[in-house]
Structure 1
Amino acid sequence: MRIFLTGTTGFVGNALLQQITAEGHYDPVVAIRRQVVGLPYGVQVMRVGGLQPETQWSKVLEGCEVVVHSAARVHVMHDTSSDPLAEFRMINVEGTLSLARQAAAASVRRFIFISSIKVNGEGTPVNMPYLAGAQAAPADSYGISKMEAEHGLRALAGETGMEVVIIRPTLVYGPGVKANFLNMMRWLHKGVPLPFGAIHNRRSLVALDNLVDLIVTCVEHPAAANQTFLVGDGEDLSTTELLRRMGVALGKPARLLPVPSRLLEVGAKLLGKQALAHRLCGSLQVDISKTRELLNWTPPVSVDEALRKTAKHFLEQQNK
């Protein structure tokens, strides 16, 4: 089966390309804007422009049965654009829908869109997880753009008959993870005492291996057509528990001080770090029962196994 993958230089897209190539069941095609080294053997590479509304994809899409679209303008903590929503819409909405329309015109059978849990919102009460069918409530420009892309893709599916599959991951971690998760590992590795020993939130995360496995499942599973799936590891952790288990994986027991979360939130507000405090102290849970039942899917990798793999890669990079 010929399959076109976008975003293959990114965290999720690259892992998906490696997995699909290793399995050997598919004929993967990727598009690049500039020369890229280290692509797996046998991958067909084509030069195109970026994910812009005017980009022409016809040559890339020729003969493809499935598109997996993970490329996007990603969420950033400190966006300097004068109109962030317009920038997000240009790439994540207009660029995505242009690709999807051209895919439908090229007789692509299925379009898999990697969306975001931010379409659902920014947080949940403890033990009241988001459901796949819940009303969308995005709170930032990135989440709004992903929601609008989802709406456009569903409409296009109704007009053209091309199957659309939407996957909304929670925070993705694994070998090579960046941003706050990487900072957390750095703190633990250095033995820095952290004031996160009394946080009783619950957060759903998803290991990179689990997300890739679900995407591959959705490539061919008949029940995935025109569905929206939430994805997580199936085990929700508090920030305190995550730090402790990550410390075990690193071989560096976490040094956690039992500072009340309310005090942390007040301090973060004074420092202008409310968003970071929300991620550390707030809850965000997803119910993946629909994903499990409709696709007969179970996350293949446990949290502790995924943390060990993540820690192993981190330590290898530290020793280079």
Structure 2
Amino acid sequence: MLTGATGFVGGAVLTQLMQQPDLAIRTLGRRITVKLSVNTSANVTHFIGEIDSATDYSAALCDIDVIIHCAARAHIMYDEVADPLAEYRRVNVEGTLNLARQGVAAGIKRFVYLSSIKVNGESTSVGSPFYESDSLPAKDFYGQSKAEAERQLIELSKETGLEVVIIRPTLVYGPGVKANFAALMNLVSKGIPLPFGCVTQNKRSLVSIANLVDLIITCIDHPKAANQVFLVSDDHDVSTSEMVREMAKALDKSTWQLPIPIWCYKLVGKLFNKSEVVDRLTGSLQVDISHTKEILGWKPPQTLQEGFKQTSASFSSSKN
């Protein structure tokens, strides 16, 4: 069973799973809008249902061996609900545990949980990456809800023997990506001077959708994945300036980066209440994926350059 199949990551997982004709796949979500881009005769059935504490999943879980849980209340930068933490918990904690408990009752063997690097935190110092074993308080409500879900899944595993696999991605990009990555690519595509010439000392770990999906599918039945936490990236960290250069190469655009000092960014961020955006542009967030590679014998199949090229091709075709 796959949840979140209408989302960016879940949709990519479904596309790959459908290339295995002997695999019976069920999707669970609020609606059926999945684009079956490959082999539409694949054995895919769809169930409509909310991810919450009340939904009965018994019909959808019949004869299921593995759940891949990608659905979540996603991070919202400027949340306007009265109690954001309660809303995150309702879906990301209570809904996740309801699904997992019913899965145990139905006889599932493994629960693959797509978590977030926000469980570790928002930033690192250069050369001091996050590790899967780090125990740090999450900084925002989204990360807090993901951390709480992880802890409760681990407890459920201890109580029941359910194999739980937790995956914490960094920033995910790829064909069809939205939000900040797409906005930056759009700026680079215009070939105009950009103010990142001084943002050369930070380091950020990214992960292409192809690499993330490959890891998720590896964790479906890898014997050593059971009850492990995995961080995932392209294993190639870049500064903001380097990221812009790689985007420009992939888009076949020239790049001229103006040497605007970092303090200017911070000042503008404070003046316009955009400090969080500025921190993402100028700060670091690195992960060490040695544990993932060693335990699973896995390495990212796609390089960052290949991922950027694939993303830029999709971006360019959407503009035509």
Normalised-by-shorter TM-score class: over 0.9
Equivalent-residue separation in structure 1 for 2:260 and 2:311 (angstroms): 27
Greater mean alpha carbon deviation, residues 183-192 or residues 62-71: 183-192
Number of the residue aligned with 2:186: 186
Provide the secondary structure at the position in 2 that maps to 1:220: coil
Indicate whether 1:36 and 2:33 are aligned. Answer: yes
The two structures have a TM-score, normalised by structure 1, of 0.96
Q: Is the 8 A contact 1:130 1:287 kept in 2?
A: yes
Runs of 4+ in 1 over 6 A off after TM superposition: none
Displacement after TM superposition at 1:44 (Å): 2.6
Measured against aligned partners, the alpha-carbon deviations of 1:189-246 in whole angstroms (never above 9, x if no partner) come to 1223221111120000001000000001100101000000000000100000000110
Number of the residue aligned with 1:8: 5
Q: Is the 8 A contact 1:67 1:112 kept in 2?
A: yes
Provide the secondary structure at the position in 2 that maps to 1:219: coil
Number of the residue aligned with 1:22: 19
Unaligned runs of 5+ residues in structure 2 are none
Measured against aligned partners, the alpha-carbon deviations of 1:269-320 in whole angstroms (never above 9, x if no partner) come to 111100000100000000000000000000000000000000000000000x
Number of the residue aligned with 2:276: 275
Displacement after TM superposition at 1:37 (Å): 5.2
Q: Is the 8 A contact 1:48 1:55 kept in 2?
A: no
Q: Is the 8 A contact 1:115 1:168 kept in 2?
A: yes
Displacement after TM superposition at 1:49 (Å): 2.0
Number of the residue aligned with 2:297: 296
Provide the secondary structure at the position in 1 that maps to 2:219: helix
Classify 1:163/1:75 alpha carbon distance in 2 versus 1 (closer, same or farther; 3 Å): same
Measured against aligned partners, the alpha-carbon deviations of 1:143-167 in whole angstroms (never above 9, x if no partner) come to 0000000001000001111100000
Measured against aligned partners, the alpha-carbon deviations of 1:23-48 in whole angstroms (never above 9, x if no partner) come to 33521111243342523522432333
Number of residues of Structure 1 aligned to a counterpart in Structure 2? 316
Q: Is the 8 A contact 1:32 1:45 kept in 2?
A: no
The share of aligned pairs that are identical, in percent, is 49
Displacement after TM superposition at 1:137 (Å): 2.1
Unaligned runs of 5+ residues in structure 1 are none
Equivalent-residue separation in structure 1 for 2:291 and 2:94 (angstroms): 29
Counterpart amino acid of residue 257 in structure 2:
L
Number of the residue aligned with 1:147: 147
Q: Is the 8 A contact 1:5 1:29 kept in 2?
A: yes
Provide the secondary structure at the position in 2 that maps to 1:311: helix
Displacement after TM superposition at 1:102 (Å): 0.3
Measured against aligned partners, the alpha-carbon deviations of 1:65-99 in whole angstroms (never above 9, x if no partner) come to 10000000000111111110000000000000000
Query: How well do the aligned residues superpose, as a CA RMSD in angstroms?
Result: 1.1
Indicate whether 1:287 and 2:288 are aligned. Answer: yes
Equivalent-residue separation in structure 2 for 1:35 and 1:244 (angstroms): 39
Number of the residue aligned with 1:111: 111
Number of the residue aligned with 1:120: 120
Measured against aligned partners, the alpha-carbon deviations of 1:98-134 in whole angstroms (never above 9, x if no partner) come to 0000001111000000000000000000010001001
